Amino acid sequence: MYQYQLHQQISLLILEHKIDVAGKDNLFYSRFLANSSEIAELYFSLYGRHPKATEAFTALLQTITKAYAERCESLKLKDEEKEELGNWFLTNQLAGMSLYVDRFCGDLNTLSSKLDYFKKLGVNFLHLMPLFESPTGESDGGYAVSNFRKVDSRFGNLEDLQAVQQNMSNEGMYLMIDIVLNHTSFRHEWAEKAKQGDKKYQDYFYMFDDRGLPNWYEETMPEIFPEVAPGSFSYVPECNKWVMSVFHNYQWDLNYSNPDVFVMMLDTIFFYANLGVDVLRIDAPAFIWKKLGTSCQNLPEAHTLLRLIKQCVQVAAPGMALLGEAIVAPKEIMKYFGTDRFFAKECDFAYNATQMALQWDALATGDTRVMLAAQNEILQKPYGCSWITYTRCHDDIGLGYDDSMIAAAGFNAYEHRRFLKEYYSGALPNSPASGALFSVNPKTQDARISGSLASLCGLEKALRKNDLEAIETSIQKISMMQAQSFFIGGLPIIFYGDEMGYTNDYSYLKDPGKSYDNRWMHRPIIDWNREENIDHQETVESKVFHATKRMIEIRKSMMVFGDYKNLTWLTPYNIHVAGFIRSYDDQKVYCLFNYNNAASYITWYAFKNNGNKSNKLYDHWSGREYTIGSDHEYLILPPYSFCILEVID
Ligand code: GLC
């Protein structure tokens, strides 16, 4: 609905910021007007009853206008180029890596000198793990931010970050960083002021005089780190109050029911946007709204906040896509793409955490049926949005998919998860994996899994025993796991170190600021002396690196791997094999992954049903050509192998 007063308000701001509505800024003005009613509606649905609602809304409009006014011309040009491409991030031309700058190469300046390394691998998109100031030892890997605008001195400074962004942009690379929206460090200026008794800043957090309400909240709030940070509240001796701290006690939850908090954080979002960030990873969005008597996760208001952010970003920095890091139940993840009127209008990306975990499930059991049972849900992703696909990231692997998916495969959910935990933590005597349980909940026995891609695939144990056959098998597993995440659709992000087969790094145990958190075992410190092994064919580094590189090449060589269309899963003729068809225009590709420790047989009939009439297939991975045989003959897949079969006739 057209709102005259809103229009007037925007026009005044435009004048104030000397925006050229009739000329070069016309598109911005149109976007602002077009989105303003939606922005107002979303905002007032959350804050309408707050005494400061109107005042903070004016500040919000100011923030948007200022963000655009301060956005540099080259970024505005890039915005336009991206807009012309449509959903620029759906392309098969992107391949990503996520890394900790200090553990990868030391600091931001050195990172610029590593761009050739990424080029050699084919990576052109970087997720730089949190870079902003965070107290040593109480940092949660940078996810406890004490200053959202100051780069932590161990990485360099803001100018260094800008230089990296510029160098990357010159090389045609894309940048992703985090906004830690849900909480600040307890050393953030707002937290410090709150500790000193400043009421204004106490209202930025959830602070209580006694345990009354905290106890009530905790009745329904699941614990995130039950071992090291039980409960969801921490005592603050400086002001004799209790504060909500869902993650660690040093991470205080921001109170988004206060519109000032929202506006301040929106301003930070634009600060990052104007640094030239291409994708903003919104950390832990599932947690940003709290309500007594609920789990305080995935609440409808959290979605409203994200939609509001999306609308505002679209006005002032439309080239920046949003990734919602919601690692929650499959049904809940889907909602971060938006629902109903906001379908495909919330986050542009979400992590395909369900698929990731299910690949680990299939690798342990050799059975792909649970993976298949989840696909109905995953395939609901709207066109125009995309997945981040991955096998490992800096976090643990959660087994949070539905019990019903496990039951559909004929397993008992409790026993099945117990098996997976024992398999990956090494508790099972014959398991090749070396990982560990993370965040075991003593009350429920729930636990997640830590460990690097290579170690969980068996490389660590195989190397220790110098078992050449087991080394080869684990490399096969690494490649197959990566391949499925590269070809399934979405933007693949490799976790640094995995491209060279890094096994667990146990040095974290010597650092008291890290030893309590075993996720550090899969966050290695890179030893650049090992880089030269990449050029020696017989080494693990070389085998894994070149396999990864080839996967990226194959992905980039075929439009069919852009995320323009959902895929079709193959009728499962063999429970050990996951298979899907991707198509684009005339191109059609069958991707098959054998999770079996023995050869698997697939009837050629699998390539004939659903009206498919193909005769010849070319495997982009092995370089072999196949003629489709008769129904009683088989395509034979060696243990832990995969193939990317393009229909060529
Ligand atoms: C996200 C991060 C994780 C962190 C948590 C709290 O889930 O990925 O590493 O511990 O948020 O910020």
Q: Per the CATH hierarchy, to which homologous superfamily does domain 354-381+397-556 belong?
A: Glycosidases (3.20.20.80)
> Of 357, 322, 356, which is closest to residue 336 (Cα–Cα)?
322
Residue 254 CA, ligand 1 centroid: distance in Å: 15
Catalytic residue among 267, 283, 396, 498: 283
Residue 488 sits at the vertex; the CA angle it makes with 304 and 372, to the nearest 5 degrees, is 85
With cut-offs at 50, 70 and 90, classify the pLDDT of residue 613.
Answer: confident
- Listed in sequence order, the residues at least 6 apart from 511 whose beta carbon sits closer than 8 Å to its beta carbon are 520
Structure confidence at residue 133 (pLDDT): 98
CATH of region 183-253:
3.90.400.10
Q: Grade residue 83 by pLDDT with cuts at 50, 70 and 90.
A: very high
278 is catalytic: no
**Residue 612 pLDDT greater than 90, yes or no:** no
Integer Cα distance of 319 and 307 in angstroms: 16
| Between 615 and 272, residue with greater pLDDT | 272
Say if residues 378 and 357 touch (Cβ distance below 8 Å).
no
Q: What is the DSSP string of 11-29?
A: HHHHHHTT--TTTTTHHHH
| Distance between Cα 380 and ligand 1 center (Å) | 26
**Per-residue model confidence (pLDDT) at position 433:** 98
Ligand 1 pocket mutation, candidates 283, 438, 521, criterion most atoms within 8 A of CB: 283
Q: Which of 27-41, 413-427, 482-496, 603-617 has the lowest mean pLDDT?
A: 603-617
Judge whether residue 609 has pLDDT over 80: no
Mean pLDDT of the chain: 96
Tokens of residue 302, six digits: 């959290």
Please identify, by atom number, the ligand 1 atom nearest to the C-alpha of residue 183: 12
DSSP E strand boundaries for 489-598: 491-495, 568-569, 577-584, 587-594
Sequence ranges of the domains in the chain: 183-253, 354-381+397-556, 567-648
Residue showing tokens 């890039």:
78
Res 565: pLDDT: 86
Mean pLDDT along residues 202-217: 98
**Beta-strand pair 491-495/207-208:** unpaired
636: which 2 tokens? 């034979």
| Residue to mutate (ligand 1; options 129, 134, 143; most atoms within 8 A of CB) | 143
How many whole angstroms from 555 Cα to the centroid of ligand 1? 29
User: What is residue 64's predicted lDDT score, i.e. its pLDDT?
Assistant: 98
Query: Do 176 and 128 form a contact (C-beta atoms < 8 A)?
Result: yes
Strand runs (DSSP E) across 516-586, as ranges? 568-569, 577-584
Q: Is the CB of 284 under 6 A from ligand 1?
A: yes
Residue appearing with tokens 């971060």: 336
Which among 338, 330, 276 has a CA at the least distance from the CA of 302? 338
Name the H helices within 445-539: 453-456, 459-465, 468-487
How far is ligand 1, taken at its centre, from the CA of residue 115, in Å? 27
Q: Which two tokens stand for residue 289?
A: 């709204």
CB-based contacts of 88: which residues, under 8 Å, 6+ apart? 81, 82, 319, 321
pLDDT exceeds cutoff 80 at 377 = yes
pLDDT of residue 572: 86
The residue with greater pLDDT, 359 or 2, is 359
Mean pLDDT, residues 550-566 taken together: 96
Burial 326-339 (b: 16+ CB within 10 A, else e): bbbbbeebbbbbbb
Q: What is the pLDDT of residue 86?
A: 87
The pLDDT value given to residue 15: 94
Which residue is listed with tokens 């610029």? 112
What is the percentage of the chain residues whose pLDDT exceeds 70?
100
620 has pLDDT over 90: yes
Res 571: pLDDT = 87
Instruction: Give dist(CA 410, CA 373) in Å, integer.
Output: 11
Bridge pairing between strands 642-647 and 587-594: antiparallel
CA of 572 to the centre of ligand 1 (A): 36
- Cα–Cα distance measured from residue 365 to residue 368, given in angstroms and rounded to the nearest whole number: 8
For ligand 1, atom 4, which residue shows the shortest CA distance? Answer: 143
Position 614 scores a pLDDT of 84
Q: Which residue, by CA, sits nearest to atom 2 of ligand 1?
A: 283
Q: 325 catalytic, yes or no? A: yes
Taking the C-alpha atoms of residue 596 and residue 566, their distance in angstroms, rounded to an integer, is 26
**What is the H or E stretch that residue 98 is in?**
strand 96-99
Amino acid occupying residue 567: L
Mean pLDDT over residues 285-306, rounded?
Answer: 98
Indicate whether residue 129 lines ligand 1 (CB < 6 A): no
What are the Cα distances from residue 449, in Å, to 66, 420, 627?
44, 9, 42
Nearest-atom index, ligand 1, CA of 327: 7
Length of the chain: 649
Q: How far is the CA of 143 from the centre of ligand 1 (A)?
A: 6
Nearest atom within ligand 1 for CA of residue 395:
9
User: Which helix (DSSP H) or strand (DSSP E) does residue 369 occupy?
Assistant: helix 369-378
- State the catalytic residue, choosing from 152, 160, 325, 446: 325
Residue owning the nearest CA to atom 9 of ligand 1: 395
CA dihedral 61, 67, 69, 71 (to 10 degrees): -160
Per-residue pLDDT band for 360 (boundaries 50, 70, 90) equals very high
- In the chain, % helix, strand, coil (3-state, to 5) comes to 45, 15, 40
Architecture in CATH of 567-648: Sandwich (2.60)
Tell me the residue type at 232. Answer: S
Cite the beta strand spans of 110-253 per DSSP E: 125-128, 132-133, 147-151, 174-179, 183-185, 207-208, 233-236, 241-244, 251-253
List Cβ neighbours of 192 (8 Å cut-off, separation of 6 or more).
none
Per-residue pLDDT at 351: 98
- Read off the pLDDT of residues 309-329 as tens digits, 9 standing for 90 and up: 999 999 999 999 999 999 999
* Across 629-644, average pLDDT: 96
Nearest CA to ligand 1 atom 10: 140
Name the residue with the closest Cα to ligand 1, atom 8: 395
Q: Are 492 and 96 spatial neighbours (Cβ–Cβ below 8 Å)?
A: yes
Return d(Cα 294, Cα 580) in angstroms, integer.
Answer: 39
Angstrom distances, CA of residue 114 to CA of 160, 513, 525, 560: 14, 28, 15, 30
The DSSP result for 406-472, as a single string, is HHHTT--HHHHHHHHHHHHHT-STT-----EEES--TTT---EEE--HHHHTTHHHHHHHT-HHHHH
